[in-house]
Structures are given as structure tokens and as C-alpha cells.
Amino acid sequence: MKNAPVVVMNFSGAYDLEDFDDNTDIINLDFRYVAGTAGYCSADAARVIRERISGYGPRGIHFLDSGDYHYVSKFWTDMIHTPFSLVLIDHHTDMQDARADGMLSCGGWVKAVIEENPMLKHVFVLGVPKVSAMNVDKALLQKVTFVTEQEFHDILDGVTEPASGQTIYISIDKDVLSTKDAVTNWDQGDMREADLRRFLVHQVERENVIGVDVCGEYPIVSNLFANEVHAEMDSDANMGILLAIARAKSIKQHDGGKGKIPQAALA
């Protein structure tokens, strides 16, 4: 991801109270004026979104707003023109059938990528409960691998690799994190942010990561104090993700991706 941009896509206004993107090098795109985007994406909205991000390509770090807009990951991955694997870090599989006239949804975008993107080779899913994995359409399973909690820790300890030697795109929904580390508008898992950061350093430093996206911002409520508290927590999580990737890129540039990750980079 050398010289790759950081793009923030503002659909709900949640980023207005966050400060992780207070940097002139970060590209901020405002989509609040686009109708038909919350949860489900209309055809007209899809055209607008695709057009506005088309000049950036899939490389970089993309912030997608709340989990209601996770389907935007499909638009970024549709721009990958080489075989790749998707590493999904999420508390939900996002492999549901479409419910609204075939429209792309936050709950079904991964299924759409599997069925429609010829460049996709495999999907590795980290963070979903076992019962959720059991409910996935069996027709999809030939392209999907679920990583258990123990297997996730084996990855962190360097025992296994989810997608070793492959070009990968990482998609993160912060609802995989404990409520101690993030506030989202969906039910959350229990992964700690420090472990997520360790995993990102591990992957970016060792593998060919073509791009990363992040969603899972807090829901805006009528209580301004609550919004500010939640925004601060999510902003800190976003900054932690950015710093982890930046550290990993720095490590990779200095040792060619062959060395051991310093403990300081995992802090």
C-alpha cells in the first residue's frame, strides 16, 4: 500500500465529531446528500458512490462510516483487477440473501462479492460467532473459511496464516470489538482493539495487502453528550488502526517484510 490514500466517506455525519481525520493528507468525501444509502444501496446511489471513488482505486485505507454502509466494500473490491482474497474481520457474516428487490445491503454484500467478482479467490472471516457461521448458505462455503477464536490467537502468535502468500484486501467492522473499545449500531463481539492492531501489523508487514477498509461508527442520537463520548471512543479506535498500519508499512519498508515484528509496533 505504498503511497496509498486515506479516504473518509461520510454518510451519516458521525465523523463530524471525530478528530482522527483532522489531517490535510486525508481525503474526506461527503455523501450525506445522496439518498438511498442507509442499510440498502439504491442503483442511483451506487452509481454516485462508484463514480466518486473511481479515481482512487482499491489501494489505501477507506473509512466507510457505520456498519449500515459496509456494502461500500464491494465497490472498492470491484476495482481490484488481480486475483485476491478477502479477509473480513466482523461480528456478522454479511452473507444474507438480498431482501429488497435485489438491492445491495450491508448484510449481504459479502455474498454479492462471492457471486459476482471473478477476481475473488477466497474469503477468510474472523470474529463471527460459531452459530452465525453455521447459518451460511452451504453453496458459499467452498470459498469461505471461518477462523475460530483459538485460530485467531494462533495467527497473532505466528503459528498460522489465514491467507499466506496471497494478495489480500482487509475489511473491518468495528462491531467485532468489545464495547470497551468501540461503540457501533450493531451487536458487538469481544475482540480487543490491541489484538486487532496486532493482527493488522502482522498482515500488512508479511502479506501483500492491497487495501483496507473500516466501518462501525457510532449511531447518532439526540443526546449530544453521548454522541461526543462515543465519537471520542470510535475516533481513538480509528486512529489506532491507522497507526498500526503505518507502523507495519514502515517495518516492511525497512526490512523487506522478512524480519520479526518489534514489540513496540504491537503496543
pTM assigned to the model: 0.91
pLDDT of 99 above 80: no
Read off the pLDDT of each residue in 50-72 and give the average, rounded to a whole number: 97
For the segment 10-18, the average pLDDT, to the nearest whole number, is 97
Query: Residue 223 pLDDT > 70, yes or no?
Result: yes
Q: Residue 2's pLDDT is what?
A: 56
C-alpha cell at 32: 450525506
pLDDT digits (tens, 9 = 90+) for 179-213: 999 999 999 999 999 999 999 998 998 889 999 99
pLDDT at 69 over 90: yes
Is the pLDDT assigned to residue 259 strictly greater than 50? no
Residue 70: what residue type?
H
Tens of pLDDT, residue by residue over 143-166, are 999 988 778 888 888 777 777 778
Q: What is the pLDDT of residue 160?
A: 76
Q: Is the pLDDT of residue 264 over 80?
A: no
pLDDT in tens, 57-67: 999 999 999 99
> What pLDDT was estimated at residue 265?
33
Contact present, 167 and 84 (Cβ < 8 Å): yes
Q: Which three cell numbers stand for residue 57?
A: 482505486
CA dihedral over 160, 205, 21, 264, signed as positive or negative: positive
| Cβ neighbours of 95 (radius 10 Å) | 25
- Domains along the sequence of the chain with CATH: 6-266 (3.40.800.10)
Q: Is the pLDDT confidence value at 135 over 70?
A: yes
Q: What is the pLDDT of residues 245-255, one digit of tens each?
A: 988 887 666 55
For residue 4, pLDDT over 80 is answered with: no
| Mean pLDDT value across the chain | 89
Say which range, 134-148, 156-170, 229-243, has the weakest mean pLDDT.
Answer: 156-170
Percent of the chain with pLDDT over 70: 92
Asked if pLDDT for residue 240 goes beyond 80, the answer is yes
Q: Tell me what pLDDT residue 26 has.
A: 95
CA 137, CA 100: separation in Å to the nearest integer?
19
**What is the C-alpha separation between 45 and 2, in angstroms, rounded?**
30
